[in-house]
Amino acid sequence: MPFWEAALSTATSSNPSQHHIMGVYNRAPLAFERGRGARLFSTDGGEYLDCVAGIATCGLGHAHPVLVDALKTQGEKLWHVSNIYTIPEQEVLADKLCAATFADVVFFTNSGTEAIECALKAARRYHAVAGNPERIDIIGFDGSFHGRSYAAVNASGNAGYLDGFGPRLPGFIQLPFGDLEALKAAIGPTTAGVIIEPVQGEGGARALTEAQLVELRQITREAGVLLIFDEVQSGMGRTGKLFAHEWAEGAEPDIMCVAKALGGGFPVGACLATHEGAKGMTPGTHGSTYGGNPLAMAVGTAAFDAINTPELLDNVKTIAGYFTQQLNGLKDRFPDVVLDIRGKGLLIGVKLASNNREFMALARDQNLLIAGGGDNCVRLLPPLNLTLAEAQEAVAKLEKTCEVVRAQAAA
């Protein structure tokens, strides 16, 4: 048995506490050795339908042949150099991202959090180089999630992530989600920018309306502050458009953070900006060792090309439509279990009457993997190329899970 197989089997059976892993996660007692499409195969021989997709990261499912090929081909050529050199593979992906969006320039990172860091720094620098260094405040919203670095947890609207980490950083404000009157009132002479997820992910799949997106753009433009969209989870096809804000016409941000499905499971993130929004990001102001290395770019480019096609985006809309209809049917049949269906595209939230963690475990008993979320939701974040048959299977497994929850409540 290779060493990693031994490690995986200990992780699930005799050593569930993972003695040498820092205990920051409540992990399910389940480990996988292999994946293919929307299927995951566990170390103990189980087969699961994966509607988590690495938290919206494996947008093309597991072991997609195009991504495997890109990884292997680039892996034989060149993995890493340094950003002190020109990296043509970065220019390829940056050209594609800019051609498909509002953006003029891209900074590549290894994660969503780092894309957020770049966005926040760019927003403050923008005002600093314009002679307004007092403009440092970043306005965010309740229930938002922007990552786990100091800046990201301070920007996020979840006090739990700040507990015990010393004083809050100055310059971060949170408002009720989507409250644009409060936003107008809060923008002032020290505001640098506004950060928001067009569809909240971790916060429970709450989506801004198209009208709200447009109004956000108008308010920030008129106030001369930057609009930052965190599309780390909602982007790269998740809602049926390449980016979720595209559902609203005229809602292009100044800066946008992308990650998760951008690398299809390989760590790739990006901070996109207009020339204007990136005006302060001059040589020496920012950097990354790994960010945008040739290996990451090769996989990212392959993932981008596979996701940014009418066929794939249409599939998201079709499957999302099916889910919305079926899940609302479940809500009607199980009003004691399912309280609300929300989200956009294949970023679906199901708000539950009973504990969402227990529901996830019961779904696992049906060999269905779903994610948790704020506001007592579970989230469905399946691969974007999920088939209708797989979606039908997921709904059937959710229905079974609802039956079990109801039976337990009656017992």
Ligand X SMILES: *Cc1c(COP(=O)(O)O)cnc(C)c1O
Q: Which is nearer to ligand X, 147 or 374 (CB)?
A: 147
- Contact between 230 and ligand X by CB under 6 A: the answer reads yes
Alpha carbon distance 244, 223 (integer Å): 24
Largest Cα–Cα separation, the chain: 67
Nearest distance from C-beta of residue 53 to ligand X, angstroms: 12
- Contact between 259 and ligand X by CB under 6 A: the answer reads yes
3-state secondary structure 322-351: HHHHHHHHHHHHCCCCEEEEEEECCEEEEE
Alpha carbon distance 257, 268 (integer Å): 11
Alpha carbon distance 339, 330 (integer Å): 10
Q: Which is nearer to ligand X, 67 or 362 (CB)?
A: 67
**Tokens (6 digits) for 336:** 């004691």
- Tell me which of 108, 141, 145, 304 binds ligand X, using CB under 6 A: 145
Residue 74, SS3 per DSSP = helix
DSSP-assigned letter for residue 385: T
Nearest distance from C-beta of residue 231 to ligand X, angstroms: 8
- Tell me which of 197, 252, 390, 393 binds ligand X, using CB under 6 A: 197
Residues in region 341-380 near ligand X by CB under 6 A: none
Choose one: 4-12, 32-40, 135-143, 228-236; the region binding ligand X (CB under 6 A).
228-236
Nearest distance from C-beta of residue 174 to ligand X, angstroms: 15
Q: Which is nearer to ligand X, 57 or 326 (CB)?
A: 57
What is the full DSSP assignment across 251-267? Answer: ---SEEEE-GGGGBTB-
Q: Which is nearer to ligand X, 347 or 405 (CB)?
A: 347
Q: Which residues contact 410 (CB under 8 A, 6 or more apart)?
A: none
Closest to 172 in 3D by CA, of 199, 203, 144: 144
Q: How many residues touch ligand X (CB under 6 A)?
A: 15
- Contact between 266 and ligand X by CB under 6 A: the answer reads no
Residues in region 70-129 near ligand X by CB under 6 A: 111-113, 116
**Phi, psi for residue 199 in degrees, rounded to 5:** -130, 120
- Contact between 201 and ligand X by CB under 6 A: the answer reads yes
Choose one: 21-29, 142-150, 169-177, 342-350; the region binding ligand X (CB under 6 A).
142-150
Nearest distance from C-beta of residue 147 to ligand X, angstroms: 4
- Tell me which of 39, 62, 146, 286 binds ligand X, using CB under 6 A: 146
- Tell me which of 54, 140, 147, 383 binds ligand X, using CB under 6 A: 147
Which residue of this chain has its Cβ atom nearest to ligand X in the complex?
Answer: 112
**Tokens (6 digits) for 191:** 């505001």
- Contact between 245 and ligand X by CB under 6 A: the answer reads no
Sheet bearing 39-42, strands edge to edge: 32-36, 39-42, 47-50, 368-369
Residue 145, SS3 per DSSP = coil
Q: Which residues contact 16 (CB under 8 A, 6 or more apart)?
A: 29
What is the binding site for ligand X (CB under 6 A)?
Answer: 111-113, 116, 145-147, 197, 201-202, 230, 232-233, 259-260
